[in-house]
Amino acid sequence: MGGKSSDSPVAESVISGFSEDSRRRLRGRLHALRRDASGLFLTLTYQQRDPTPEEAKRDLDNFWKRISRRFPGASSVWKMEPHTESENRGVPHFHLMTFGVEFIPVQWLSKVWHDVTGEQDYAHRKSCVDLEPFVNQDGKLQSYMAEYMEETYAEWPEAEEDGPWAETGRWWGCLSRKQLPWADWEDAPVYLNEHEAIQLISELVDEWDLDLPDGVIPSSLTINTRGDPEDRLNDLMDRL
């Protein structure tokens, strides 16, 4: 049997935590977006239900299908997070950075999320979606969101070894990936001293698994990037 498409939140994957590598990939994806792209920031919550990972991802998938039918140009980067306060500890919620649409009635969004989750309480329908427009200025949004979404978890809080949250599946992903406002690829000049340059090139050679003779380090490196590579390179330099 074939798995779900890569855009689907319910695509098959065996993942138990939000790792450093996954966080790094999310940050890279955010910095690959256009530095002037603006849109909407959504937060989707539960009230009485405590869904399994599969149920939560299915809710998100169904929610997005309705969004994309009404707003066919929309796209999102989503992140799943656990509530950490004692009352709802471990119950998931979703953050979505949504592009390609400047306005969506919050009442309609709330009704759609309320319907797909199967929540029964009217109070959930009134408060289950938080909606804020955002304006991106020279990539500051990506930097802020990369920090906002980057907290790592070795496992889901309060997850039992044989419980439903022992394997969470993906913690983040893209919806309508091809429509995201990707930045153009361009060469990025980076100025480092000799020691920093050798260390950085060595790190990238290892990370990209390039096939070079032992001990041979290229004398120069051109980085072809989308968006501003500054945060990505600073992260690499911090690890040297």
pLDDT band, residue 225 (cuts 50/70/90): low
DSSP reduced 3-state for 33: strand
For residue 2, pLDDT beyond 50: no
Please indicate whether residue 148 or residue 77 has the higher confidence score (pLDDT). 77
The bridge status of strand 75-82 relative to strand 129-134 is unpaired
CATH 3.30.70 maps onto the chain at: 20-179
What the block records as the tokens of 12 is 């098959």
pLDDT, residue 3, reads: 45
Please indicate whether residue 17 or residue 205 has the higher confidence score (pLDDT). 17
For residue 205, pLDDT beyond 80: no
Residues 178-193, mean pLDDT to the nearest whole number = 77
Give this prediction's pTM: 0.75
Ranges 30-34, 58-62, 155-159, 179-183, most confident: 58-62
pLDDT, residue 201, reads: 73
pLDDT, residue 218, reads: 63
Distance from the Cα of residue 45 to its chain's centroid: 17
pLDDT > 70 in the chain, percent: 71
Mean pLDDT of the chain: 81
pLDDT, residue 29, reads: 84
Query: What is the DSSP annotation of 101-137?
Result: -S---HHHHHHHHHHHHT---HHHHHHSEEEEEE---
- CATH 1.10.8 for the 20-179 domain, yes or no: no
DSSP 8-state code for residue 165: G
pLDDT band, residue 160 (cuts 50/70/90): confident
